[in-house]
Amino acid sequence: MSVPKKDIEPEIEIVEEDEEASLLPTDEAEGEDRADQAESSLAAGRAAILGAVKHAPSQPGVYRMIDARGDVLYVGKAKNIKKRVAAYARSTGLDTRIERMLASTRALEFVVTRTETEALLLEANLIKRLRPRFNVLLRDDKSFPYILITSDHWAPQILKHRGARTRPGHYYGPFASVWAVNRTINALQRAFLLRSCSNPFFESRTRPCLLYQIKRCSAPCTNEIDFNEYAALVREANAFLSGRSKAVKDELAGAMEQASRALDFERAAVYRDRLAALSAIQSHQGVNPRGVEEADVFALHQQGGFACVEVFFFRTGQNWGNRAYFPRADQSISPGEILGAFLAQFYDDKPCPRLVLISHDIDDRGLLAEALATKSGHKIEVVVPRRGEKKDLIEHALANAREALGRKLAETSSQQRLLRQLAETFGLKQVPRRIEVYDNSHIQGSNAVGAMIVAGAEGFRKRDYRKFNIRSAELTPGDDFAMMREVLTRRFKRLLAETPRDAPSPLVGKGGEPQSGEPGEGAAPLDLEDGESPWPDLVLIDGGQGQLNAARDVFAQLGIEVPLAAIAKGPDRDAGRETFFIPGRDSFKLPPRDPVLYFVERLRDEAHRFAIGSHRTRRKRDLRESGLQEIAGIGPTRKRALLHHFGTLKAIERASVTDLMHVDGISAETARRIYEFFHEGTT
């Protein structure tokens, strides 16, 4: 099945006035012209629907509405495709959103499925892939982190895990955030003393590491604990995470009392600390329902044309946190319709618990439960609770949704105010909807990477971030101006090819993590809002007059005009003393407490962070390929000594200068060079 391109066309194209219309008063002429065109477009859309109905199958499946450019406007499912599509052709009873969609529709495509359940699953998958502008779209759809206790080693390891569950072991979650996982793992290490180090690091140890000294590991690597005792700790940890927390705590409390009666106060103190760690985990979990063993709770709140879905995760009777989502949906769509579309997309690539609690009833609730059960392989209930503890969970989630949406609206309002002030300060013709910020990162020209970050009225838009591996063979190592020219040339050449400057419709991205700017790697179009252009309203360069001139040369060669500005670091790289360069104006500085200065510094710092992160990722890959010999003074002998002592490259990178000096053959000066290679000198 081919997937159409995902460019988006404006809902109704506005043409210039003809001669007859120009005889009327301007406002009336424009109004009549728009009305005539809207009516004509709607008639054309209905004609396309009627033509498609003749060939539509009377079976379950999915239909796609296509515009004149071949782009998908809407994806829907139906028990009978022919009847569903025919309903769009009626002349009355359609809301404004549907009429706008029909006005842009010029063709339909159908995919037949065996059952309506399969159609629902396919619909959710296609919406996530194609991101049609008239569907409810789930945004910020990253995978959730889990806690993994491995079972492929005699001394199991506890660690954070995200992605496919390919490694043998017990997985617990999902957790709402990495922060929640890290906090829980730290407490579990204090409670059960399980190791978190990698297997190579574990095998290379000759003495206990720092975690043993601070009582967060029992050091099985150096036999500070025997196999049976460590296995007992692993069983207790699995039992606690599996919901048998009360039994584990009772057992520890009994052991503490027994040690106290035997006057073994040191051992009793160990049990006391472990109990305190377990209590800390549960105290941070907030609501812990007694009658809900495993469930996801979804509550939706709408305000000001926006919607927020708050999700709580309960596993093994414990609260593993919550997360707020802000799906893109037309304000005319009902809460039940938004929630139904959200749930189908949410569970498209995630495991589903046996119970799903929702705040609003949804159409086809039974069908959704059947579809989720088909995917999961076990019975699933989708329930709108009316009373009792489950209703209390919904009310708690709704309160969080209201607060999260309130914060989001306040942040958006503040961001828009800053954008208006930025337009005034920089002399822009309009308030920027899309700002692109560029920076480079390298060490003496090696592993050079260019980075682009994007910001708008809603804040940073990480789906649109791009990195550019500098690959010009003629470039002099360390030439920042040439690197900037290469990055901007590649970025805007591609933009010109994909969306010419005068093109009326933007691209829509697939979403996901930040993409690369390399051909083939960054093939996903940008994730844009409805009607937004992919062209930036402002390009901000991290640098001074030289970088600005390099950008101007690129734009002149490509024949494009984009507002440009450069921000140069202050003396001694002090924040608050930056100098701004804008073509056609003298350089200037902003007052130290100017909100626009803080705003631009945040943009610059985010680009710097992303550039350095991309550079370090590339450098680590090269280190794995070429070894540590890239560091001055490190040859094969010292490389072997470092790896034997620390076990992994990651452990070497985390080591302090003092730790490095403990390695045979590593002097204080060599240790300093190794440390600075991993932590300093990045431009």
Determine the 3-state secondary structure of 456 from DSSP: strand
* Phi, psi of 385, rounded to the nearest 5 degrees: -70, 145
Q: Which CATH architecture has domain 627-679?
A: Orthogonal Bundle (1.10)
* Phi, psi of 277, rounded to the nearest 5 degrees: -65, -40
Are 526 and 476 spatial neighbours (Cβ–Cβ below 8 Å)? no
Please report how many Cα atoms fall inside a 13 Å half-sphere around the Cα of residue 535, on the Cβ side. Answer: 18
Over the chain (683 residues), what is each successive 10-residue block's mean pLDDT? 38 30 41 56 86 90 90 92 89 81 91 90 88 84 83 91 86 80 82 87 86 88 89 86 72 78 77 72 56 86 88 81 87 89 88 91 90 88 90 91 87 85 91 90 66 87 84 67 87 86 42 38 44 83 89 91 87 69 90 86 88 70 56 76 74 80 85 76 42
Peptide bond preceding 174: is omega within 30 degrees of 0, i.e. cis? yes
Determine the 3-state secondary structure of 612 from DSSP: helix
Are 482 and 476 spatial neighbours (Cβ–Cβ below 8 Å)? yes
Q: Which CA distances in Å does 351 have to 146, 163, 347, 380?
A: 12, 12, 7, 11
Residue type, 107: A
How many helices, marked H, and strands, marked E, lie in the chain?
21, 19
Bridge partners, 357 (sequence order): 297, 383
Token pair recorded at residue 581: 């360069």
Shortest CA distance to 243 belongs to which of 281, 296, 215?
A: 281
Are 477 and 483 spatial neighbours (Cβ–Cβ below 8 Å)? no
**Orientation angle between helical segments 178-192 and 265-283, nearest 10 degrees:** 160
* Fold of domain 19-130: GIY-YIG endonuclease (3.40.1440)
Are 397 and 372 spatial neighbours (Cβ–Cβ below 8 Å)? no
Q: What angle do CA 642, 648, 650 make, to 5 degrees?
A: 105
pTM, entire model: 0.65
What's the pLDDT at 242? 76
What's the pLDDT at 620? 62
Residue type, 119: A
For the chain, give every domain's residue range. Answer: 19-130, 146-283, 295-407, 427-618, 627-679
Token pair recorded at residue 10: 């404006």
Question: Which DSSP string do the residues of 187-252 spell out, in sequence order?
Answer: HHHHHH--B-S-HHHHHH-SS--HHHHTTS---GGGTSS-HHHHHHHHHHHHHHHTT-HHHHHHHH
Are 381 and 355 spatial neighbours (Cβ–Cβ below 8 Å)? yes
What stretch of H or E contains 488? helix 480-498
Shortest CA distance to 116 belongs to which of 417, 369, 392?
A: 369
Shortest CA distance to 437 belongs to which of 332, 538, 288?
A: 538
* Phi, psi of 339, rounded to the nearest 5 degrees: -65, -40
What's the pLDDT at 454? 92
- Spell out the long-range contacts of 123-129 with Cβ–Cβ below 8 A and sequence spacing 24 or more: 123/62, 123/75, 123/76, 123/77, 123/344, 124/341, 124/344, 124/345, 124/347, 124/348, 125/348, 126/62, 126/64, 126/75, 127/75, 127/341, 127/344, 127/345, 128/345, 128/348, 128/511, 129/3, 129/510
Shortest CA distance to 237 belongs to which of 160, 161, 147, 166?
A: 147
What's the pLDDT at 508? 33
* Fold of domain 427-618: Nucleotidyltransferase; domain 5 (3.30.420)
Are 297 and 309 spatial neighbours (Cβ–Cβ below 8 Å)? no
Q: Which CATH architecture has domain 295-407?
A: 2-Layer Sandwich (3.30)
Does the fold of domain 427-618 match that of domain 295-407?
yes
What is the Cα–Cα distance from 431 to 268, expressed in whole angstroms? 65
Residue found by looking up tokens 């010029």 in the block: 106
Query: How many CB atoms neighbour CB 385 within 10 A?
Result: 16
Rg over alpha carbons for the chain, rounded to the nearest Å, is 30
- Cα pseudo-dihedral 333, 337, 343, 346, rounded to 10: -30
Q: What angle do CA 5, 9, 10 make, to 5 degrees?
A: 160
Question: Which DSSP string do the residues of 314-342 spell out, in sequence order?
Answer: EETTEEEEEEEE--B--TTS-HHHHHHHH
What is the Cα–Cα distance from 424 to 315, expressed in whole angstroms? 51
Determine the 3-state secondary structure of 498 from DSSP: helix
What's the pLDDT at 7? 37
